[in-house]
């Protein structure tokens, strides 16, 4: 129920190197996860640059209200914050992956050899036989440092996920101000997600799983872990996915219903109706496209994080890729869906007001043909 478990995001050096000597597949798992971090770091930088340029360009428009300028400013600040957190966590991830890979140089054949003082041996399985068995020797201090790095990465990633979920609930509130039952449902899901995370974090802390000096070799499934019955790490992912699904499905449903009401109630020219239909469909498509990858990779991450799956080795060695893809897409969810493009037909702000359909109208403060939430 907590993403702060040892090895949830970054395997310890002894686990990484021993698994590499055994099958070698985990190396590619960590490598692809590192590349995902690097790729999305570049995406965040590009989005920040685009949003900053668009903000200052729109600020020059004298027809825009102070509220509209403030909204784009808030979005720009949020985008910079998300980029800083994600790039910082990606840097941490890349550094630890490099450390784990560099330790492979110390690999040597060993037969019945004991670890030196202050070190731990990670060895291949018994299937290699004693003669062909290989081990890597890692100092305890390096393992403790690696655990501190993982805790720092988990903290930054969890902040990103919570900020995203919270802003999704805020978006739901603005869209459904006239329907409290919808945004209250989303808020309850968010609170439940936060409560699950707190429960998992408290359980780990009580069991000693958050101590960098001792939890680097902590066994989650061992009898001495002292975790409550029914504890599962997948819940930390599933609870966040539920918030994403509730908000996205609710907003897309309202957009499509607004499109249908507009077609039924307003007399428009064929060209105007087609343009407006395209706007609604574009809004729906963009929301679905931005929400679908986190849901898909989140489900895969939750399945591969399951203890039963890992014990039966059904996930092979590829459990870091879906986790990192889920975190990366989730952290990119808000910038991509709120402010995709300078000429986008999506609203560049969340405008409040009665949710009644309004005919298209010329507005010099908008970029292109846009819809605002009060038109839904």
Each residue of 152-167: pLDDT tens digit? 999 999 999 999 999 8
pLDDT in tens, 45-73: 988 888 888 888 888 888 888 887 887 88
* Whether pLDDT at 287 is above 80: no
Mean pLDDT value across the chain: 75
| Residues forming beta bridges with residue 109, ordered by sequence position | 134
Question: Can you tell me whether residue 232 is helix, strand or coil?
Answer: coil
Q: Report which DSSP code applies to 53.
A: H
Give the three-state DSSP class for 249: helix
Min mean pLDDT across 32-41, 113-122, 209-218, 358-367 is at: 358-367
Does 247 have pLDDT greater than 80? yes
Is 13-375 CATH 1.20.1070? Answer: yes
- Token pair 């590499």 is found at 20
For the record, the structure tokens of 27 come out as: 């190396």
Q: Is the pLDDT of residue 90 over 90?
A: yes
pLDDT band at 132 (very low <50, low <70, confident <90, very high): low
Give the C-alpha separation, 269 to 256, whole Å: 20
* Separation of CA 168 from chain center: 13
Instruction: Tally DSSP H helices, then E strands, for the chain.
Output: 11, 3
Query: Which of residues 202 and 29 earns the better pLDDT score?
Result: 29
The structural domains of the chain, with segments of one domain joined by +, span: 13-375
The encoded tokens of residue 200 equal 């998992």
Angle in degrees, CA 170, 175, 180, rounded to 5: 80
Q: Is the pLDDT of residue 109 over 80?
A: no
Q: Please determine, for residue 216, whether its predicted confidence score (pLDDT) is greater than 80.
A: no
In the numeric block, which tokens belong to residue 370?
A: 């846009």
- Placement of tokens 């037969």 in the chain: 111
361 — pLDDT class (breaks 50, 70, 90): very low
Considering 14-18, 115-119, 261-265, 344-348, the range whose residues carry the highest mean pLDDT is 14-18
**Given this model, what pLDDT does residue 1 score?**
57
Asked if 335 and 82 count as a contact pair (C-beta separation under 8 A), the reply is: yes
- Residue 303's CB is within 10 A of a number of other CB atoms, namely 16
pLDDT above 70: residue 220: no
Residue 226 has pLDDT above 90, yes or no: no
What distance in Å separates the CA atoms of residue 374 and residue 376, rounded to the nearest whole number? 5
User: Average of pLDDT values for 30-43?
Assistant: 94
Specify the pLDDT at position 113. Answer: 58
| Dist CA 340 CA 345 (whole Å) | 9
How many of the other CB atoms lie within 10 Å of CB of 207? Answer: 18
* Range in 8-22, 153-167, 279-293 the model is least confident about: 279-293
Residue 21 has pLDDT above 80, yes or no: no
3-state secondary structure of 204: helix
**pLDDT grade for 311, boundaries at 50, 70 and 90:** low
269 SS3 class: coil
Report how far residue 72's alpha carbon sits from residue 79's, in angstroms, rounded to the nearest whole number: 10
Give the torsion sign (CA, 217, 324, 192, 315): negative
φ, ψ at 117 (rounded to 5°):
-65, 130
Q: Tell whether the model's pLDDT for residue 288 goes beyond 80.
A: no
CA distance 96 to 146: 7
Least confident residue range of 255-269, 321-335, 362-376: 362-376
Identify the CA nearest to 192 among candidates 165, 232, 153, 158. Answer: 165
Quote the CA–CA distance of 77 and 174 in Å, as a whole number. Answer: 19
Residue 338 has pLDDT above 80, yes or no: no
**Sign for the pseudo-dihedral over CA of 164, 168, 174, 179:** negative
| Burial grade of 308 (CB within 10 A; 0-12, 13-18, 19 or more) | exposed
Report the run of H or E that residue 134 belongs to, with start and end: strand 134-139
Q: Which residue has the higher pLDDT, 138 or 191?
A: 191
1-15, 47-61, 268-282, 293-307: least confidently modelled range: 268-282
CB neighbours of 99 closer than 8 A, spacing ≥ 6?
13, 142, 146
């Amino acid at each position: 129920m907590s993403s702060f478990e040892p090895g949830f995001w970054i395997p310890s050096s002894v686990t990484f190197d021993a698994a590499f000597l055994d099958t070698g597949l985990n190396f590619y798992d960590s490598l692809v996860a590192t590349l995902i971090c690097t790729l999305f770091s570049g995406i965040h930088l590009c989005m920040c640059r685009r949003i900053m340029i668009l903000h200052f360009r729109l600020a020059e428009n004298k027809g825009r209200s102070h509220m509209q300028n403030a909204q784009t400013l808030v979005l720009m600040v949020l985008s910079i914050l998300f980029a800083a957190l994600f790039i910082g966590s990606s840097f941490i991830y890349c550094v630890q992956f490099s450390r784990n890979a560099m330790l492979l140089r110390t690999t040597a054949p060993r037969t019945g050899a004991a670890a030196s003082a202050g070190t731990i041996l990670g060895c291949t399985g018994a299937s290699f036989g004693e003669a062909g068995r290989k081990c890597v020797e890692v100092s305890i201090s390096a393992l403790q440092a690696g655990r501190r790095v993982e805790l720092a990465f988990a903290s930054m990633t969890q902040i990103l996920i919570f900020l995203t979920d919270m802003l999704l609930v805020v978006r739901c509130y603005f869209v459904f101000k006239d329907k409290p039952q919808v945004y209250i449902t989303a808020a309850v899901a968010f609170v439940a997600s936060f409560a699950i995370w707190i429960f998992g974090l408290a359980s780990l802390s009580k069991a000693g799983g958050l101590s960098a000096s001792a939890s680097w070799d902590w066994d989650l499934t061992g009898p001495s872990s002292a975790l409550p019955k029914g504890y599962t790490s997948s819940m930390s992912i599933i609870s966040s996915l539920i918030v994403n699904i509730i908000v996205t499905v609710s907003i897309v449903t309202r957009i499509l219903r607004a499109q249908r009401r507009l077609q039924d109630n307003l007399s428009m020219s064929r060209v105007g109706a087609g343009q407006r239909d395209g706007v609604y469909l574009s809004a729906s498509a963009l929301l679905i496209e931005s929400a679908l990858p986190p849901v898909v990779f989140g489900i895969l991450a939750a399945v591969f994080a399951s203890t039963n799956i890992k014990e039966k080795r059904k996930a092979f060695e590829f459990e870091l890729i879906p986790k990192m893809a889920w975190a990366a897409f989730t952290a990119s969810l808000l910038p991509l869906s709120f402010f995709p493009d300078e000429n986008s037909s999506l609203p560049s702000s969340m405008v409040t007001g009665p949710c009644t359909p309004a005919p298209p109208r010329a507005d010099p403060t908008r970029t292109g043909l846009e819809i605002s939430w009060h038109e839904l």
